[in-house]
Amino acid sequence: GENVEQHPSTLSVQEGDSAVIKCTYSDSASNYFPWYKQELGKRPQLIIDIRSNVGEKKDQRIAVTLNKTAKHFSLHITETQPEDSAVYFCAASPGFKTIFGAGTRLFVKA
């Protein structure tokens, strides 16, 4: 089955800096890669996703890249703000089951 590894587990950045979170997956059948943001005590919220036929996708300050050959994908947040502080989860799906990484706790210091 699919296995998703996520690094780092904790990331602390200064406000305005960039943050990068990296994930690898094992199942070459995975073709959908969403990223979720979870604030304390709340449900995970989808922030961006990418499919395997695309190498990069941007949405304002957030971008995702996918290297299908190497089976890794990354989340990039530019110009970080204190409200970006949360836990971020990457995930991989072969179409019927989504497997999540262990999460990255991002702290943005003002």
Partner 1 sequence: NAGVMQNPRHLVRRRGQEARLRCSPMKGHSHVYWYRQLPEEGLKFMVYLQKENIIDESGMPKERFSAEFPKEGPSILRIQQVVRGDSAAYFCTSSPGQGQGNEKLFFGSGTQLSVL
- Work out whether 47 is an interface residue with partner 1 (CB under 8 A): no
Query: Which residue is it, tokens 């110009």?
Result: 79
The angle at the Cα of 81, spanning 78 to 87, to the nearest 5 degrees, equals: 85
- Work out whether 58 is an interface residue with partner 1 (CB under 8 A): no
Among the candidate windows 17-25, 45-53, 55-63, 67-75, which touches partner 1 by CB under 8 A?
A: 45-53
Number of neighbours of residue 2 by Cβ within 10 angstroms = 17
Let me know if 60 is exposed, middle or buried by CB neighbors in 10 A (0-12, 13-18, 19+): exposed
Of 32, 47, 74, 107, the one binding partner 1 by CB under 8 A: 32
**Residues 56 and 48: beta-carbon distance below 8 Å:** no
Among the candidate windows 11-19, 46-54, 58-66, 75-83, which touches partner 1 by CB under 8 A?
A: 46-54
Output 24 or 93, the one with its CB closest to partner 1: 93
DSSP string, 45-66: EEEEEEETT-SEEEETTEEEEE
Site for partner 1 in 82-101 (CB under 8 A): 89, 93, 95-101
Output 78 or 105, the one with its CB closest to partner 1: 105
**Residues lying near partner 1 in the complex (CB under 8 A):** 1, 6, 31-32, 34, 42-46, 49, 51, 89, 93, 95-103
